[in-house]
A and B are shown apart, each in its own frame.
Chain A
Amino acid sequence: MNTGSVTTLPRLESAGLDGWMVRLFDSIEETNLPWITALLQRCESAFGTAVVDLVPSYTTLLVVFDPVQLSPLEAQQKITSLLTDLTPEGSSGTSQIHELPTFYHASVGPDLERVAEHTGLSVAEVIACHSQKTYRVFALGFAPGFAFMGLTAPELECPRLDTPRKKVPVGSVAIAARQTAAYPTATPGGWNLLGRTSARLFDREREGFSLLNVGDQVRFVPASREAFERSGGDITPMEACQ
């Protein structure tokens, strides 16, 4: 059983009676994603009804299967055979590019100043720097539809807040370390808030539920207050959201 410290990748590690952790990479790179989503799709078709959940993340894919239909050994053999001739998902794959209209403003992005101070950039430069790059979704977690995206430009790197906020408003666009995210629901949060998007990130009644999926590409597009409001954005200032 591959429970030992093997240095070769990819490798399989036991994740319990009904799971295998497929470790494909050992560092966070945007180029990991096409490989991980390709494996996910192959598992979906190869496992059929025996698949319970497939959880992709930065460097891994957790495969959870039905232990009535497959033993751990049979599942391991299946995954191993899928890995032998794996090719990354091409640009013509299912990965989408999303444009999220974002109102960057101190009233809804109370940490713009703090980030500017920390990075030595002006507020305008912070906004430009954040909105000029196309990001990849590395993982969903923390809350339903919460997408960890990256990597942000090195000059925008900024640590989390020392004390997380008790409630971050829906749609808040944030950065921490070299990642960025938008809050799909109002939750506690310690990331630096730069603005707010009007995009509906999570909807339990919508097909697929989450706007963003692992491997998707995302751009934050600066929107004026008027355009933001027109597209359904909530301009309630941060202070009134507590």
Chain B
Amino acid sequence: MAHKKKGSQTVVFEKKPYIIGRGNIGGKKESEGPLAACFDQLLDDDMFGEKSWEKAECKMLQTAMERAIHRAKLKKENIDIMLSGDLINQIMTSSFAARDLHIPFLGLYGACSTMTESLVIGSMLIDGGFAQNIMASASSHFCTAERQFRMPVEHGNQRPTSAQWTATAAGAVVLSEKPFSIPEGMRVVRATDATIGKVIDAGIKDANQMGAAMAPSAVDTLLNHLQDTGRAIDYYDLVLTGDLGFIGKDIMTDLLIDAGLNAEKVYAHYDDCGTMLFSKDQDVHGGGSGCGCSAAVFTGKIMQQMEQGKISRILLMSTGALLSTISSFQGESIPGIAHAIALEVE
């Protein structure tokens, strides 16, 4: 009997795992954005002293992880399992980071929903008693994503108004069964429950309309989460989607109000990481996207605000577009997914 399952898609964590460490890193464009102050480290050059974009992304992910381990006052030997994913074929960044770090590794692919996916699975592993300390992380890099999914970086073209900008960023957290190593005066963040999303395909085929492709899955996960837990949207100080961007956020808001949620509450309690990471005048068109977008915003601004007690309850919903380079060429539409994890300050 699955006694930790609630409703149709939600799980409740009895142990309520603690987030005892966090780390993030951002690229050049992120350093020019409104959240620059919320990064542990920012790069002047997105190559990060490496020979290829892929190596640079790998180094960024490792740096974020090491920062998280350091903040948790642990050694990498204390991490039982590392959960990580990215956008490059065969999740190269995460696997190669795991090769260098020598931590037992489970690779994940949830496209841009990976940060929440790793947090959800990590919390489950701790709650099930399979691990004490878990590393949950995700990364993306504008140039690695651009050359894999679109065009060579130096190719000259005009981006459509709905195109989003893949964040060059990585974020990592250490989840733990016990709250040791939390500094005095700092609030502790715990994971309470999570809703696992279904893959929803609204039939969008345009790879430059990611926000619109993912919004229906985010709406579905949120409505199911609220129904399973019996909560209203204003139970949370902030409901945060991963990378719907400016267009997807508007669609999500409209669909939520259409589904019967109170409009004022939706406007007051809902936001999107893709609209926070960059400002509109940074020429990012539809806003930020990529695994690193929600990973960096959550491990930066959001965690800071929670630790300082400015906000106490959030629902993090990283959103992913599960297309591949093959599926778009074969004329398939873009399936979307969104997972949700509820986090609260103790």
Is B one of A's binding partners?
A: no
